[in-house]
Amino acid sequence: MDEEGRQLGVMPLRQALETARERGLDLVEVAATAQPPVCRILDYGKFRYEQAKKDRHAKKSQHLSEVREVKIRPKIGAHDLEAKLRNARKMLQEGDKIKVIVIFRGREMAHQDLGWKLLQKVGETLKDVAALDKAPGMEGNALTVIFAPSKQAREARTTKKESQQPGETAKKGEKTGVAV
Per-residue pLDDT tens over the stretch 145-160:
999 988 776 676 666 6
Report pTM: 0.54
Domains 13-61 and 67-151 equal at CATH topology level: no
Q: What is the pLDDT of residues 112-144, one digit of tens each?
A: 999 999 999 999 998 888 888 888 999 899 999
**Residue 19 vs residues 7, 42, 91, 92, 107: alpha-carbon distances, Å:** 13, 11, 56, 55, 83
* Residue 174: per-residue pLDDT: 47
Q: Where are the domains of the chain?
A: 13-61, 67-151
**Where does 67-151 sit in CATH, by number?**
3.30.110.10
**CATH code linked to domain 13-61:** 3.10.20.80
Q: Is the pLDDT of residue 166 over 90?
A: no
**pLDDT score at 161:** 63
